[in-house]
Amino acid sequence: MHYVKVGQDQGAKLIVGGKRVGAKGYFVEPTIFDNVRDEMTIAKTRSLAPSSAVLPFKSMDEVIERANSTNYGLAAAIWTKNLDKAHLYAKEVKAGTVWVNCYHVVETTTPFGGFKMSGQGRENGEAALEHYTETKTVTIKLGS
Q: What is the mean pLDDT of the chain?
A: 86
68 to each of 22, 37, 75, 112, 116, how far by Cα in Å? 36, 16, 11, 18, 10
pTM exceeding the 0.75 threshold for the entire prediction: no
Q: How large a percentage of the chain has pLDDT more than 90? A: 45
Asked whether the beta carbons of 98 and 76 are under 8 A apart, the reply is yes
How far does Cα 118 stand from its chain's mean position? 8
117 pLDDT more than 70: no
